[in-house]
Chains A and B, each alone.
Chain A
Amino acid sequence: MLTIDNLKKHFGFVRAVDNVNMDIREGEIVSIIGTNGAGKTTLVNLISGYIKPDSGRILFFDKDITYASPYIRIKLGVGRSFQLIQLFGNITVLDNVRTALFSKYGMIRRGLLPADRYSSVTDEAIKILDNFNMSDKKDLTPTGLSEGDLKILDIAVAFALKSKLLLLDEPTSGVATNDKFKVMDSIVSAIKKEGISTLIIEHDMDIVSGYSDRVIVMHEGKIMAEGKPNEVMENKEVKATVFGIVS
């Protein structure tokens, strides 16, 4: 569904993404790992349209979206969450999800009837929050939530866009170690239920090996290795560069 062809993004002398080629298939959960500065977040920013590449192509279901605006990409089905949580801080948890749904259904321009009158959208938002075990917090604002809940809500907002491809930038960063698997269980069960393809950037190898179908390793803007989680973990070059283990 997603094909990246010779994608390049340099910031001055820094080769953040350097001629990267990769594919993501439908329903697949792919993780990208790598050291700090490997180019993982830049790659996600390029796919989501947050920044534009210097060269190369991004194809989504064979449609060239390399220079398409974030708006177009979202309409096509590319959604994302953020490493640093990006939520609407002064509206309720329910409205965070509901606003994404209104946008997805092209109802966001409706300006006279209260949002509560659109009961089907409200019910759907509550169902999404239910999937992420958050419906009991629907009337709180994000300021009243724990870091783990904020992460889940951030992903629930992206999820509400009914994306075909979801880009999750470090979904467990900032979450207490005890809560990491709980957060990932919520996310992955919701994703699998809908059959959404997912690209996850993650540092925690337990999470990567536990939830990914395939792992891509990036280093200095290039893809160093890729394969099934256990194959990649055994790769000597990966061990040395990413985990600092020299055997």
Chain B
Amino acid sequence: MVKNPRWVAYVLIFIILLFIPRLLSIYHLMLFEYGLTFAIVGLGFNLLLGYTGLLSFGHGAYFAVGAYTVGMIAKYFPGAYSLEILIPAALLFSLIISIIFGFLCVRHTKIFFSILALSLSMLLYALLFKLYHLTGGSDGLRVPLPTLLGISFKGIRRPEFLSGTYYYFLLVLFAISCVIMRGIVSSPFGKALQAIRDNEVRAELIGIRVRRYRLYAFIISGMFVGLGGALWSFVNGHVTADLSHWVFSGEIVYMTLLGGFGILEGPIIGAILFTYLKLYAMGNTQYWMFVIGATLIVLVLLLPNGVAGAIASLLAKIKRKTVKGTPC
């Protein structure tokens, strides 16, 4: 009997993911990479929404910080433009911004928290949009191909870069993110966050410093989202101020709801589904926003726990039936 079937499933999925570049066309592989970067974003966002009970409408800000860190280093410090510097730099800057914004936001909860997070992200949007000479304003910044451990990818086209080295780099970071987040949510710290989510009064009265732990969750969440933003920028090749706009933050909320925020794997499924859903909707109708909105309504009414939540309930039902049906 396997001790932990969940980890076996994870390893099997990871092995399948290793072969994805051989199975998908370059176009679909790029879409899948968008999905993977959003999956890291969803993991981080879910720590705040699903595990701490705080709904942020401003997480686009940390995504933008990660993406702009890459763009700005490309523009102003081209000598340092290598993945092994860019990723820690994106984490560092998203850490700094998350501490500042988080410190202000976690003093409030519920709608006040959501609106404050949204306002701060729009403040960053205004700065990115207006500081034209520094940030490229509405034109944004170009993201060239980076180097990795001294290896240059000059002369290689972006699709080739994305289907080779970068895919595996992204996959490894995605796997590390999943393992870290799994560790966090099942750790004593994760239990404290869940306690705060369920009952902040009682959490305070068992000795948990509620505001401080909310800030920790906010910072970790911001760093995951910043990492997602940095990794996304290489796939997209270009960053703009829209990433910090509340509409983009809304998309992060949407993909988390689509997958289901009660389960760790929910936002991963949601992010990948959302990437395909949005692209196919945009490719087939000019009313793509209607499709996205209608899907959300159907989702809330029929699958309140998201796609992953529905799958989990189905599996639990099957398991119960199997146990009942097992002869003594």
**Chain A: residues with CB nearer than 8 A to chain B?**
48, 50, 70-71, 74-75, 79-80, 82, 86-91, 95, 98-100, 102-104, 107-116, 118, 157-158, 160-161
Contact = CB atoms under 8 A, between A and B. Distances in A.
Contacts of B190: 111, 115
Contacts, number: 98
A99 B205 contact: no
B187 interface: yes
B191 interface: yes
A16 B209 CA distance: 28
Given A87-B199, A111-B183, A111-B187, A102 B192 contact: yes
Contact of A88 (B184, B202, B204, B209): B202
19 contacts: A50-B205, A70-B205, A71-B207, A86-B199, A88-B194, A88-B198, A90-B198, A91-B198, A95-B194, A98-B191, A99-B191, A99-B192, A102-B192, A104-B207, A111-B189, A112-B183, A113-B187, A114-B186, A158-B206
A109 B194 contact: no
Listed from nearest, the 3 A-B pairs whose CB atoms lie closest are A111-B189, A88-B198, A86-B202
Interface string B187-219: 111111011011101111111110000000000
A78 to B, nearest CB: 10
Given A87-B202, A113-B183, A103 B207 contact: yes
B189 A74 contact: no
Interface in B62-78: none
Given A89-B199, A91-B198, A115 B186 contact: yes
B197 A71 contact: no
A88 B188 contact: no
A153 to B, nearest CB: 11
B207 A75 contact: yes
Interface of B: 180, 183-184, 186-192, 194-195, 197-199, 201-209
B188 A108 contact: yes
B198 A89 contact: yes
A123 to B, nearest CB: 15
B314 to A, nearest CB: 20
Nearest to B182: A114
Contacts of A103: 192, 206-208
Contacts of B188: 99, 102, 107-111, 115, 118
A95 B202 contact: no
A161 B197 CA distance: 20
Contacts of B184: 111-112
A74 B203 CA distance: 11
B274 to A, nearest CB: 25
A128 to B, nearest CB: 13
B198 A114 contact: no
B185 to A, nearest CB: 9
Identify the interface centre among A110, A118, A158: most chain B CB within 10 Å of its CB. A110
Given A74-B205, A95-B191, A103-B207, 8 more contacts: A88-B199, A99-B192, A102-B191, A103-B192, A108-B188, A111-B183, A115-B186, A115-B190
Contacts of B202: 82, 86-88, 157
